[in-house]
Each structure stands twice: as structure tokens, then as C-alpha cells.
């Protein structure tokens, strides 16, 4: 990452081009539409990087060529050119002129669009849409996701268009809306103001189209909105708004503001849910009476007797009512099934709509026949089945309603990712020297590349950028799954959507809009959810013949029962009363039609993939498709040095007095993959690389050098040789340290039945040493990039499924060759592009997560298939009456329909259970355990303890005198989960009393963190501690987040959190109800950030007791923001002993955004603290209280004295500020007072109204 110094603050937002500027659109001439094409060549004979450079140089010099990129590893050249100035043949000939062989000329312009598909119910529907799309001329590839309800189409824009594609989908009987196209991924929606005519909008549109970097402008005259697609490298939304403002000619005035259109997917999802719900309720309005009139009331005499009154001949009132009530359900509410069946049959396939339409029509029209027959005959008797038709449609609609509700939850993880970015950002305006002169709060959508923004503690990072000033820790768990906050300093990247835990940082924006990591993650996951897993082919094959098979089975069922009945093959008493053999056979046939469910099969895979990819993304594992997800479950698994050498060389130059930035010019620089680099420096051949590179250039290697290399390699270090003019003049030992979790990851993979193999370019000695250390048995060393890919192919030839884990550009061929490529997130873009799975956290533990999640997902898919297939295999015979002869059990059609609806819902709910997935390692300890010697300082362990249970303390103080859980001398420790640590304090609180000399018996704390660094405590609950619930002492970089602390109000000396002699402590989103101080901050503590904490009952947030002991240190830089204090005795308190024994300062405190609710003494500064009057009468304070700011503090006080500033006579408080403090006394008299003594040199013992500072 390039270091961004302060000079970068002076860079203009947009670089001028030819004296013009995209920032001044008003004066620009209309933009000429320049159409470009892209061509790709396979080039043979590229042996090194210099070959690629020579091709790029020659091709870039051709007229009309806009860009050229050559990959020496893949042997490919990609050229973008203007077809009116050159052509592919000319470019090809230019490359051939350099003595390279060029073949497989591919020239095609491909566009991409994403479409929302409406009306898909099962796999047959999605296949129908795919077939319709693939039949459109110019469409090269189409992928349709049933669960996602989207399609991604690659097409040639010279042959077809998006409108024709949408028309083809609509002709297939489905709805389609454009979500996005490849050229408008960065777009802004603007609401226009001051526009009074269509001419105004045309003027604005033409001005915007003339701006360099604007790709497309869409106007809505009626709504006065405009959508602009743009290139963020060239322009940005603020410049577009400025362009609109500049387009107005006085006296007219134009303006534009951001407009957020309703989220289409969510709106359509809610509309679909509401539509199915309403249709179900309307159907119930008719179906329930039909059911009552046919199945309930006739059985209850005399209440149902009226239904049998004859209207005409043998037609009864019950028949007529059932007919009238059923018809709206059949033809109005059920019309969607007719439409779906028509379009399916028109396209030559069948789906669930066909089954429902056949079943309900058979029941309905047979019933109509019965009614008409009864109407015209005095002797005819027959039973109608109107309840079958009506109830069947009602149950199917209920199932569809429940299904769409459940399907909406499958993308919850993805939805949460999209909502991570904050709505606003703090934009800095800089002067010519790079100093901030103003701050402006603007919408995140208005940020542009190279903007400089400020991020304060507790705020979210709005977009991707690089830190240019300040230091902090950033919580990236929502993006990477990393539980511990990551330290950030100038030059480090920050990711949009993450949270700045502490410290103010200044960030230069590098990526906005669709280019941010968050947007890329969302796009990658959405693409993965569209890609079909190979296991989905089973459902695709079954769906092709499923419905026709069911129709044939239903017909054979009816025919079998009807023939058997006609020839008296079964006893007459089997036929229910008021039925004949035809009607019984018809009911069996209809039940077979409607019990079969192709939807459950179609949803088995895509819903599970949707949930799994979304869950993986939330845990820092990005899976690029169902194919990778499926293959990873059966995988057998498998460093950059140049930067380290350059940095070390710089340090040597500084150490030996060479501070000049002048570097010698190098020529003919060439990379030798897997060996090193060569260059000509001031006429001398310089080689830097391994032994193989020296041998290639015939550099003699002496026995002394050989010995040094052997010694280095035995220490698991890589020896890099330096040669000048074929004489070795130096060697560098480079250690690529093992990831601390490597050994545990390899061990866990082995326990999962996965073999680990090391394939590396390092020497054999180093490779074997590292392999032995982590427990890898099979090693291939000194392998170049192509050799890595060949080794993987050899393993595949043996029938193994290979997963390759890599991070560098040298790993990209192997990542592409492997069945599953896993790229470390901190690796190169080339490696990440070639991989199937990206590990955002750069941790090998996530290899386990990826494979384990894959296995869990495949198991869930198999379970879904077992259920869906098992349901159909068992349900259809039962519906056909197999059990009827033996048990008398039969499945009425309306009940069969209910079973069919339930099967789809059950499959979706089964997939939703994947949202409960947790990483397989809950308690991890990697590297060595903590050292026992405190003098050694914190050990370099990385310990993650997950607590989900309930730990109970003991009441026997003799049995347990020490602190219960203690983290001591540890670096990198995290405890998280949802468990409870219960100190069982009520059993021993009687021992926790203080005598008259204020000497207290100290009891054990529940959780202690001392002499440690980089510690995180998140999510757990601490309750009923014997003494302090959480004690932090002499530690650094501690984060307490989302912790709950509770104990009864009468519990003595049970502080919630105590911090002493520690630095950089963050306490956020925590609820504390302790018997004593909510948070107490002691001497020697610096950089404390308390944000979003709720205190009460008990005491408030206290700094003290200062000066009680000798040799105490200053308390400095305390910030308490956005907290709520309710029902406590004192709210914000700073206290020091009247006769203090140490000389120290309490300085630079900020209390901002505090809400008080019925708090006694809300604000107190007390330099005369003297518990139990044990102080000397002539005590003098040595604790200086300076620069204390109280801002935006509102609420109610339970005492008249809302502010008490009781400062020392000899050392008055300095720099105490009150801004927007509004505290109301709730008692009698309703007068709020402030008592101020010795503040800023002024002494007053009189209580005054709230205005003493």
C-alpha cells in the first residue's frame, strides 16, 4: 500500500486534462460519443515480463488504441480500441511483427444486465426463462436464480438490446424489470428543483451529457428526477449537482438534491407477500362457507337441514350456494394458475400451475356437471366437489404466502451487509498547506474519490480509504469476521461499513459507490447466488419429466379405481356414502395431481446456497458460487519478499548515513517467476534472487556461499543472493513468519479427514523445516508458478479433489487449476480474481470455516432433497389410495393440496437453519501459552475464548480467595459469546464491609485483565460479583463491547468496570446496573473512550479516588459520549482526596451527549473528598483538575444541586466549561441550583441558579 503523506492532501480532486476540467461542465463542449471495442489475443512465446512490456509499448503506439494489458503468465493480451480508427487485424499484425505467434482471435463486445424476474414458482419456471433468454439472438450466456428471482444476461449489444431481452421474458409468461446494466454500476439519483418545463429538463440533460465521465442520463419529467451513471475516476455526484446549478440562466435557478428511490427488491417482496396474503384471505372468505356447507353443517341436524331443500328438481340450496361461492375462487382468485399453465404449455413444458389447474378444473367442472344434471333430473343423485376446488386453491395460496415470507429471510445476511455503511460523513475542506479549515456533514453518496474525511471514535467508516493522519483501532468484524479491533495508522486501508473504536483518524477516500469493498462483497455474493451448484442438476433433470409423470400417474390412478369399481373388484362398502365409483376414482386422481410438488425440489439447492453464501460473507468467507461451495466440502488442501528487502535496505541507508532519496536508475528490469529479478544498473548486471537464478546466468557460487545458504535454510529462512556482474557480493536472509494459527489449522483439517500438502517456491531445507513445525507431511519445494499448477493436476489425476490456498500473483495459475481456489484477502488482486473463495480475514482458520460451511450446506441440500423426494415418493402412493384397502385412510384433494403447500415451506425453513451456523472452533489457543515470568512482558499468544454457558462462583472464600477469571501477561486475547459469569456475591457480601478507618476487606473480582495488551471482551454477562465485576489494570488496547453487568442496588463496593493505570480503553454499547460505580477510572489511566453506555441503578461514571496513595500518575484524555444515566447516586463525578498523598493531574476530560434521568448530584467535581471524616483538618490538595468540558447534558436531577464544583482552596479548578447543560430538579420548588467553590480562581459558597461557570 502506498504511504499517503500530507502532501497528498494538496492533490486536486480531478486532474486537469488539456487545460480543461471536468469540474467546469458549464463551459464544456458537448461530449462526443466514443464507442470502443475490446479484443483478446492468445500470444505464444511470452517468456518474461520484458516481452509483455515490448508488446504493450508497440500496441499502445497504434492509432486508436485506448488501453492494452498483457499477462505473461496466461499468455494473453487484451486491447481496447476505437473501431473507427483501427481494427483487430491491424493489432494482431503489430504483435506478430515482434516475432510472437498470435492465434485464437476473439473479437466480441459483450454487455451484461441484471433483471428481476416475477412469477417463477419452481425449477421448470427458471428453466423456461433460461431457454427463452438463450433463444434470443445475441444472448451469449444467461443464468436464472429461482430463489434470488433474478437473471444475469451476457449479450452482444450490436445484435440485441435489454428491451428485447425483457420482451422475450414477458413472452414466456413472466414479468421482468431491469435492475442494472454493466455501464451504470456507479449512478446517482437526483431530485430536481426549480424546473418548470420539459425544456428545462432537456437543458439539464444536455449539460450533464457533456460532462466528461458521464456515461448515461435518464430523466423522469413527471417526477422531476434524474439518474446519472458516471465514471468515479473522472467525476462525482457533487460536481454533477454543481453542473445542474450552473445550467440555469438568470432569473431561473436550478438545484438538485439526493433522491433515494424505494428499494425495488424489498418493495416487490412486500408487494408479493401482501398480494398472496390478500388472495388467501379473499379465498377464505368464500372457501370457508363452502367447506361449512359441504362438510360440517350437513352432519349437524337440524342446523344443516335447510341445505337439502330442493330449488328445482334435484338441485338443492346447498349445491347452488357452493357453486356460487366456489366460482369466484376458481376463476378470479385462481386465475393466476390458468395464466401460468397457459404460458407453460405454450412454451412446451409443464409446471406446478399445470397440476393445480388440472386438479381444480377436474373437481370444479365435474361438480358443475353434477349440479346441471340435478337441475334437469328429478331422479338423479350425485355428490359435488366444490369444496375440493375452493379449499385446494386456498391452501396453495397459504403455502405460497408462507413460502415467500420464508424466502425473504434467506437473504437477511446480505441485507444486513448492504445497510452497514453510514448515511453521512464528515468532509474536510483543506487549505493550500493541507490544513483543515472547515468540516461539513454530507451524505455518504456525495463523497468522491480523493476527498478527505474525518472519522471520530464510535463512528462508522463511510467508504474505503487510506489513513493519512491519526491512529486508532477499527472493528472490522462486520466485514471480515475478525473479532479483535485492528490497529490503524497512516498508510493503512480502512473499509467502508467498519466501526472506528477509538482515536480520531483522517482518511483519504480511494473507492466510492460500487467500487467499495462492501459493494464488491454484495455484488460477489449476489453473483454466487445466481450460479447453479452441480447438485442442482438433479432437480433440473427430475423437473423435465416430473409433471408429465404426475399427470400420467393421476390418470392411471383414476382409471384403475374407476375400472375396479365398475367391475366390482373391490367391495361396494368401500365407497363413501353419497358417492359412486367414478367420484371416488376422481378424488383419488385429483389428490395425486395436487399432492405432487415440484417446487420443493427446485428450492432445495438455491435457498441453501443463498443462506450459506450470505452467512459466509458475514463471517469473512466470500464464496463465488454454488460450484465452489459444493466442491470445497470434499477438498484436500495445499509470500511476498521484495517489499521486506526494500524496507530493510532503506533502514541500512539511514543507519550508515545515507539520507539521500536519490536512487540509481535501472534499465531492462525483468521478473523471473519463481527465481528473482534482474536489471541493468549504471551499466552493470544486477541479479537479486535464489540459487536457480544465479545458475541461469552462470554466476559461480563458492563453497563459502553454499555453506552460508545451508545454515540459513536450516533456520527456516529463505536466502536471497545478490550478484553484480556475475559476482556474488551479498546475501539476505528473509523470514516469512508462519501465521500463528497455521499449526492449529493444519491439525484441525487433519481431524476433518483432509490431507494438507505444501507446494512452495522456497528451497527444500526451509520448506521441510516449516512443514515439520506445522505438521505437514507431504512437501513439494522449489516449484515455479507453472509447476504448482502441474502438481495440482497430478493430484487431480489420482482422483483427489484439490483446494489450493494462496495469496501471491505466483499462486494464480495454481488457484485457477485447483478444484477450489482459496485466496487470502490480503493477497494480490490477481490471486483473488483467480480464486473461487476469498478469505477476507487473511486467516488460515477461515479455510476450516469455508470447508466446514460447505459441508454443512451440502448436508442441508441433501436433507432438503431427501425430504422433497421422500415426500413425493411417499405422498403420491398415499394420495393414489394405496393404504385405503387396508386401513381405510385416504387423502382428500383439499388435504393433499395442504400437504403440497407445506412441503415447499418446509424446504425453505430447512435452508434457513443454516443462519444458525457457527464457526467450528469456539475456543482456540494458538502459539505458546502465557509465560509465568512477569518480567518477560506479555506473551505473543492469540487466544479466543467463547463463553456460551453459565459459570457460577463459590461462596467459600477459603476455597477461592483469588480472582475468579484472570487474564495476565497476555497479548491478543478475546472472550466473547452469550454466556454468564455469576460471582454469587450475595453469599459473601456480609464480609465486604469497611471499618471506620475505611479499610475494606478485598474480595475476589469476577474478571480481571492485567499486564495485557489487545484484549476484547464482547457480548457476555457479568452479575453478582463479590467485588469488582471487571477490573482492568496496567493494560493497553482493551475493548469492552456489548457487555451486560448486573447486581442488586444494595451490593457493597461492586463496581461495574474499574480501570486503573491503563491506556487506550474502549467501553461501548454496554449496560451496567451495579451496587457501586457504573464505571470507575483510577490514577494512571489515559485515552479512555466510553460510548453508548447505560448506567443505573447504583452510582454513575466516576474518576477517582485520586491522591489516596503515593506515586500516583496523571489521568488524561477521558471521553464519555452518548451515555444514559438513570436513577443513580451521582452521575458524572471527579473526586480527589482533600489531603492527597500524590501530586498529579486530572486533565482533558470531555462529557458530551449525556442524558440524566432522576440522578442525585448529576455533575460533581470534588477536590475535598474525605470519606468517614478521616482526613486531616489542614489537608491541601495536590490534584490539579483542568480542562474539563461538559456538553449537551440534559435530563432531570433528583437533588436541587444539579452541579457541584467543590474545588480546593489552594488549587482551584481551571478550564471547566459547561455548554448546553439543561438539568431540571424534579422535587418540590423546582429550582435547579449549582454550587461552585474555587472555580477558575473565584470562590463562592452560595448556591446559585445554573450559571456559575
Residue with the larger pLDDT of the pair 1174 and 298? 298
pLDDT average, residue stretch 411-429:
80
How does pLDDT run across 463-510, given as a tens digit for each residue? 999 999 888 888 887 676 665 678 888 888 898 888 888 778 999 998
In this prediction, residue 1247 carries a pLDDT of: 43
Distance CA 836, CA 851 (A): 12
Note the pLDDT tens digit of each residue in 130-141.
888 988 988 888
pLDDT at 279 over 90: yes
Q: Using one digit for the tens of pLDDT, what is the confidence trace for 184-235? A: 557 888 888 888 888 888 888 888 888 888 887 888 888 788 888 888 878 8
The candidate with the shortest Cα–Cα distance to 1211, out of 1144, 1116, 1132, is 1144
Q: Cell for 743? A: 499449526
Task: State pTM to two decimals.
Answer: 0.55
With a cut of 70, say whether residue 298 has pLDDT above it.
yes
CA distance 688 to 709: 14
Residue 42 pairs in a beta bridge with: 76, 103
- Using CA atoms, how far apart are residues 151 and 530, in angstroms rounded to an integer? 7
Rounded Cα distance, 190 and 226, in Å: 5
The SS3 call for residue 161 is coil
CATH code for the domain defined by 187-261 = 3.30.70.100
Residue 1093 — very low, low, confident or very high, per pLDDT cuts 50/70/90?
Answer: very high
- Please check whether the two domains, 111-181 and 187-261, share a CATH topology: yes
Question: What is the residue extent of each domain of the chain?
Answer: 37-105, 111-181, 187-261, 265-412, 422-515, 534-613+856-916, 621-641+746-753+770-840, 669-734, 944-994+1008-1246
Tell which residue, 1218, 1226, 1061, has the closest CA to residue 1144.
1061
Three cell numbers, residue 567: 367391475
**Rounded-to-integer distance, Cα 177 and Cα 179, Å:** 6
Range in 24-33, 264-273, 650-659, 1202-1211 with the lowest mean pLDDT? 24-33
Query: Which residue in 1161, 1235, 1148 sits closest to 1188, CA to CA?
Result: 1148
pLDDT of residue 27: 31
If one compares 647 and 278, the residue with the highest pLDDT of the two is 278
The answer to whether 313 and 375 are in contact (CB under 8 A) is: yes
Nearest of 204, 229, 226 to residue 216 by alpha carbon: 229
What does the pLDDT average to over 753-780? 83
Phi/psi at 1004 (5° precision): -65, 145
- Give the position of cell 479516588: 1105
Q: Residue 1080's beta-bridge partner residues? A: 1058, 1102
CA distance 1108 to 551: 89
Section 264-285 average pLDDT: 85
Evaluate whether 156 touches 111 at the Cβ level (below 8 Å).
yes
Chain centroid offset of residue 819 CA: 25
Given the candidates 3.90.79.10, 3.40.50.2300, 1.20.1340.10, 2.70.150.10, the CATH classification of the domain at 422-515 is 2.70.150.10
% of the chain beyond a pLDDT of 90? 13
In whole angstroms, give the CA distance from residue 483 to residue 1039.
Answer: 11
CATH classification number, 669-734, choose in 3.40.1110.10, 3.40.50.280, 3.30.470.20, 3.20.20.150:
3.40.1110.10
Q: How confident is the model at residue 1032 (pLDDT cuts 50, 70, 90)?
A: very high
Distances from the Cα of 873 to the Cαs of 7, 609, 853, 868, 878, in angstroms? 72, 25, 29, 9, 9
Average pLDDT, the chain: 79
Q: Are 718 and 745 in contact (CB under 8 A)?
A: no
115 strand-pairing partners = 151, 178
Contact of 615 with 413, CB cutoff 8 Å? yes
Tell me the backbone φ, ψ of residue 53, rounded to 5 degrees: -65, -40
- Higher pLDDT pick, 935 / 604: 604
Residues for the chain: how many in total? 1253
Q: For residue 1090, what pLDDT is reported?
A: 92
Cell of 984: 454469587
Highest mean pLDDT among 326-330, 495-499, 660-664, 938-942: 326-330
- Cα–Cα distance, 149 to 394 (Å, whole number): 24
**Cα–Cα distances in Å, from 981 out to 842, 948, 965, 974, 989?**
32, 10, 9, 15, 17
- Of 277 and 751, the structure prediction assigns the larger pLDDT to 277
So which residues are the catalytic ones?
1099
Strand order of the β-sheet with 37-44 is 65-71, 76-81, 37-44, 101-107
* Per-position DSSP letters for 44-64, written without gaps between them: E---SHHHHHHHHHHHHTSTT
pLDDT digit string (tens) for 373-412?
888 887 777 778 788 888 888 888 887 888 788 777 766 7
Grid cell, residue 418, equals 448492504
Range in 247-256, 461-470, 516-525 the model is least confident about: 516-525
Query: So what's the pLDDT on residue 148?
Result: 77
| pLDDT range class, residue 285, cuts 50, 70, 90 | very high
Q: Is beta strand 636-637 parallel, antiparallel or unpaired with respect to 802-806?
A: parallel
Residue 544 pLDDT exceeds 70: yes
pLDDT digits (tens, 9 = 90+) for 1114-1139: 999 999 999 999 988 889 999 888 77
pLDDT band at 1244 (very low <50, low <70, confident <90, very high): very low
At 1134 the pLDDT is 92
CATH 3.30.70.100 given to domain 37-105 = yes
Contacts 24+ apart (CB under 8 A), 818-823: 818/638, 818/792, 819/631, 819/635, 820/628, 820/631, 820/632, 820/635, 822/847, 822/850
The CATH class given to the 621-641+746-753+770-840 domain equals alpha beta
Instruction: Annotate 977-1014 with b (16+ C-beta within 10 A) or e (fewer).
Output: bebbbbbbbeebbeebeeeeeeeeeebbbbbbbbbbbb
Cα(1143)–Cα(1183) distance, integer angstroms:
6
Q: Which of 1136, 1191, 1142 lies closest to 1169 in space, CA to CA?
A: 1136
pLDDT confidence bin for 1238, thresholds 50/70/90:
low
Residue 336: asked if its preceding bond is cis (omega within 30°), the reply is: no
Indicate whether 1253 pLDDT > 80.
no
Domain 944-994+1008-1246 listed as CATH 2.160.20.10: yes
Q: Which CATH architecture has domain 111-181?
A: 2-Layer Sandwich (3.30)
Amino acid at each position: 500500500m502506498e504511504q499517503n503523506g500530507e502532501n497528498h492532501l494538496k492533490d486536486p480532486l480531478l486532474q486537469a486534462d488539456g487545460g480543461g476540467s471536468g469540474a467546469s461542465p458549464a463551459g464544456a463542449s458537448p461530449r462526443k460519443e466514443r464507442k470502443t471495442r475490446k479484443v483478446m489475443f492468445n500470444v505464444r512465446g511470452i517468456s518474461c515480463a520484458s516481452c509483455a512490456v515490448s508488446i504493450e509499448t508497440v500496441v499502445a503506439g497504434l492509432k486508436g488504441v485506448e488501453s492494452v494489458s498483457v499477462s505473461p503468465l496466461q499468455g494473453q493480451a487484451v486491447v481496447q480500441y476505437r473501431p473507427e480508427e483501427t481494427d483487430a487485424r491491424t493489432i494482431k499484425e503489430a504483435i506478430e511483427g515482434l516475432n510472437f505467434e498470435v492465434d485464437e482471435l476473439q473479437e466480441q463486445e459483450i454487455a451484461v444486465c441484471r433483471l428481476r424476474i416475477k412469477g417463477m414458482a419452481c425449477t421448470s419456471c427458471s428453466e423456461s426463462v433460461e431457454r427463452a433468454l438463450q433463444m434470443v439472438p445475441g444472448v451469449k450466456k444467461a443464468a436464472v436464480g429461482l430463489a434470488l428471482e433474478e437473471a444475469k444476461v451476457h449479450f452482444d449489444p450490436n445484435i440485441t438490446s435489454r428491451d428485447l431481452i425483457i420482451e422475450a421474458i414477458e413472452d414466456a409468461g413472466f414479468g421482468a424489470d431491469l435492475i442494472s446494466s454493466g455501464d451504470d454500476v456507479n449512478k446517482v439519483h437526483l431530485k430536481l428543483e426549480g424546473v418548470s418545463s420539459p425544456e428545462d429538463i432537456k437543458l439539464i440533460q444536455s449539460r450533464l451529457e457533456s460532462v466528461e465521465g458521464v456515461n448515461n442520463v435518464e430523466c423522469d419529467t413527471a417526477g422531476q428526477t434524474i439518474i446519472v451513471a458516471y465514471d468515479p475516476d473522472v467525476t462525482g455526484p457533487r460536481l454533477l449537482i454543481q453542473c445542474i446549478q450552473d445550467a440555469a440562466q438568470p432569473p431561473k435557478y436550478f438545484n438538485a438534491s439526493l433522491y433515494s428511490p424505494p428499494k425495488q427488491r424489498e418493495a416487490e417482496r412486500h408487494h408479493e407477500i401482501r398480494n398472496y396474503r390478500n388472495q388467501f384471505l379473499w379465498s377464505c372468505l368464500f372457501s370457508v362457507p363452502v367447506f361449512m356447507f359441504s362438510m360440517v353443517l350437513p352432519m349437524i341436524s337440524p342446523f344443516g337441514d335447510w341445505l337439502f331443500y330442493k330449488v328445482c328438481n334435484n338441485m338443492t340450496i346447498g349445491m347452488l350456494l357452493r357453486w356460487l361461492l366456489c366460482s369466484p375462487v376458481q376463476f378470479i382468485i385462481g386465475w393466476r394458475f390458468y395464466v401460468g399453465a397457459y404460458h407453460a404449455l405454450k412454451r412446451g413444458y409443464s409446471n406446478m400451475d399445470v397440476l393445480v389447474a388440472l386438479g381444480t378444473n377436474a373437481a370444479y367442472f365435474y361438480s358443475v356437471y353434477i349440479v346441471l344434471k340435478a337441475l334437469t333430473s328429478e331422479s338423479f343423485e350425485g355428490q359435488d366437489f366444490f369444496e375440493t376446488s375452493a379449499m385446494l386453491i386456498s391452501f396453495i395460496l397459504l403455502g405460497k404466502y408462507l413460502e415467500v415470507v420464508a424466502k425473504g429471510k434467506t437473504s437477511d445476511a446480505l441485507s444486513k451487509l448492504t445497510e452497514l455503511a453510514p448515511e453521512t460523513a464528515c468532509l474536510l475542506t483543506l487549505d493550500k498547506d493541507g490544513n483543515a479549515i472547515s468540516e461539513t456533514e454530507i451524505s455518504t453518496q456525495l463523497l468522491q474519490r480523493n476527498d478527505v474525511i474525518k472519522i471520530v471514535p464510535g463512528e462508522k467508516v463511510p467508504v474505503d480509504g487510506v489513513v493519512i493522519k491519526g491512529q486508532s483501532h477499527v472493528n472490522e468484524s462486520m466485514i471480515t469476521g475478525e473479532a479483535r479491533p485492528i490497529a490503524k495508522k497512516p498508510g493503512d486501508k480502512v473499509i467502508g461499513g467498519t466501526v472506528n473504536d477509538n482515536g480520531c483518524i483522517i482518511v483519504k477516500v480511494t473507492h466510492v459507490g460500487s467500487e467499495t469493498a462492501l459493494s464488491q462483497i454484495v455484488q460477489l455474493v449476489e453473483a454466487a447466488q445466481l450460479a447453479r451448484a452441480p447438485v442442482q442438476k438433479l432437480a433440473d433433470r427430475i423437473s423435465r419429466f416430473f409433471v408429465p409423470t404426475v399427470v400420467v400417474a393421476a390418470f392411471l390412478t383414476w382409471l384403475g379405481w374407476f375400472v375396479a369399481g365398475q367391475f366390482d373388484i373391490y367391495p361396494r362398502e368401500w365407497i363413501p356414502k353419497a358417492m359412486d365409483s367414478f367420484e371416488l376414482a376422481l378424488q383419488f386422481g385429483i389428490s395425486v395431481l395436487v399432492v405432487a410438488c415440484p417446487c420443493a425440489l427446485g428450492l432445495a439447492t438455491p435457498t441453501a446456497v443463498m443462506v450459506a453464501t450470505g452467512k459466509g460473507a458475514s463471517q469473512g468467507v466470500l464464496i463465488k458460487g454454488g460450484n465452489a461451495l459444493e466442491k470445497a466440502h470434499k477438498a484436500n488442501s495445499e509470500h511476498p519478499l521484495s517489499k521486506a528487502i526494500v524496507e530493510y535496505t532503506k533502514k541500512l541507508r539511514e543507519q550508515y548515513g545515507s539520507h539521500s532519496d536519490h536512487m540509481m536508475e535501472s534499465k531492462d528490469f525483468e521478473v523471473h517467476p519463481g527465481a528473482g529479478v534482474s536489471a541493468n544498473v549504471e551499466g552493470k548486471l544486477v541479479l537479486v534472487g535464489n540459487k536457480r537464478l544465479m545458475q541461469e546466468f552462470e554466476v559461480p557460487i563458492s563453497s563459502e556461499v553454499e555453506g552460508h545458504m545451508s545454515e540459513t535454510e536450516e533456520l527456516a529462512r529463505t536466502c536471497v543472493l545478490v550478484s553484480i556482474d556475475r559476482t556474488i557480493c551479498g546475501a539476505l536472509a528473509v523470514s516469512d513468519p508462519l501465521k500463528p494459527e497455521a499449526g492449529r489449522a493444519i491439525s484441525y483439517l487433519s481431524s476433518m479427514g483432509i490431507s494438507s500438502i505444501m507446494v512452495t517456491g522456497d528451497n527444500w531445507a526451509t520448506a521441510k523445516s516449516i512443514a515439520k513445525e506445522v505438521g505437514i507431511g507431504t512437501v513439494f519445494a522449489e516449484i515455479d508458478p507453472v509447476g504448482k499448477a502441474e502438481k495440482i493436476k497430478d493430484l487431480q489425476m489420482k482422483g483427489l479433489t484439490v483446494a489450493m490456498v494462496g495469496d501471491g500473483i505466483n499462486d494464480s495459475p495454481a488457484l485457477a487449476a485447483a478444484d477450489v481456489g482459496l485466496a487470502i484477502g490480503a493477497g494480490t488482486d490477481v490471486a483473488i480474481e483467480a480464486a473461487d473463495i476469498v478469505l477476507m480475514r487473511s486467516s488460515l482458520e477461515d479455510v476450516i470455516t469455508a470447508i466446514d460451511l460447505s459441508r454443512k450446506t451440502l448436508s442441508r441440500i441433501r436433507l432438503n432433497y431427501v425430504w422433497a423426494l421422500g415426500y413425493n415418493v411417499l405422498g403420491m402412493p398415499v394420495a393414489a389410495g394405496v393404504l385405503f384397502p387396508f386401513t381405510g385412510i385416504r387423502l382428500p384433494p383439499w388435504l393433499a393440496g395442504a400437504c403440497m403447500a407445506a412441503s415447499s415451506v418446509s424446504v425453505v425453513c430447512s435452508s434457513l437453519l443454516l443462519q444458525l451456523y457457527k464457526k467450528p472452533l469456539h475456543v482456540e489457543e494458538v502459539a505458546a501459552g502465557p509465560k509465568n515470568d512477569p518480567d518477560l512482558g506479555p506473551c505473543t499468544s492469540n487466544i479466543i475464548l467463547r463463553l456460551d454457558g453459565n459459570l457460577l462462583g463459590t461462596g467459600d472464600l477459603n476455597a477461592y480467595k483469588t480472582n475468579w477469571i484472570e487474564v495476565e501477561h497476555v497479548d491478543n486475547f478475546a472472550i466473547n459469546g452469550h454466556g454468564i459469569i455469576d460471582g454469587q456475591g450475595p453469599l459473601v457480601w456480609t464480609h465486604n464491609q469497611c471499618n471506620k478507618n475505611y479499610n475494606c476487606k478485598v474480595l475476589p473480582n469476577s474478571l480481571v485483565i492485567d499486564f495485557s495488551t489487545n484484549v476484547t471482551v464482547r457480548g457476555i454477562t457479568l452479575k453478582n460479583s463479590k467485588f469488582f465485576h471487571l477490573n482492568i489494570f496496567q493494560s493497553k488496547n482493551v475493548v469492552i463491547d456489548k457487555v451486560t453487568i448486573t447486581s442488586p442496588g444494595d451490593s457493597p463496593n461492586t463496581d461495574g468496570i474499574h480501570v486503573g493505570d491503563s491506556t487506550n480503553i474502549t467501553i461501548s454499547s454496554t449496560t451496567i446496573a451495579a451496587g457501586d460505580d457504573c464505571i470507575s477510572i483510577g490514577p494512571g489511566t489515559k485515552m479512555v473512550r466510553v460510548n453508548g453506555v447505560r448506567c443505573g441503578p447504583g452510582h454513575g461514571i466516576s474518576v477517582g479516588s485520586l491522591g489516596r496513595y503515593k506515586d500516583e500518575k496523571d489521568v488524561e484524555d477521558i471521553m464519555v459520549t452518548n451515555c444514559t444515566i438513570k436513577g443513580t447516586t451521582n452521575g458524572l463525578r471527579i473526586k480527589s482526596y482533600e489531603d492527597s498523598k500524590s501530586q498529579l493531574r486530572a486533565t482533558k476530560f470531555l462529557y458530551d451527549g449525556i442524558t440524566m434521568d432522576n440522578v442525585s448530584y448529576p455533575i460533581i467535581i470534588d477536590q475535598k473528598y474525605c470519606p468517614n471524616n478521616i482526613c486531616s483538618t489542614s489537608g491541601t490538595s495536590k490534584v490539579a483538575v483542568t480542562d474539563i468540558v461538559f456538553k449537551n447534558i440534559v435530563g432531570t436531577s433528583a437533588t436541587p444541586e444539579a452541579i457541584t464544583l467543590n474545588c480546593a482552596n489552594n488549587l482551584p479548578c481551571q478550564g471547566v466549561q459547561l455548554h448546553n447543560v439543561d438539568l431540571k430538579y424534579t422535587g418540590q420548588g423546582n429550582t435547579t441550583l449549582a454550587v461552585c467553590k474555587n472555580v477558575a480562581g473565584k470562590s463562592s459558597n452560595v448556591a446559585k441558579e445554573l450559571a456559575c461557570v
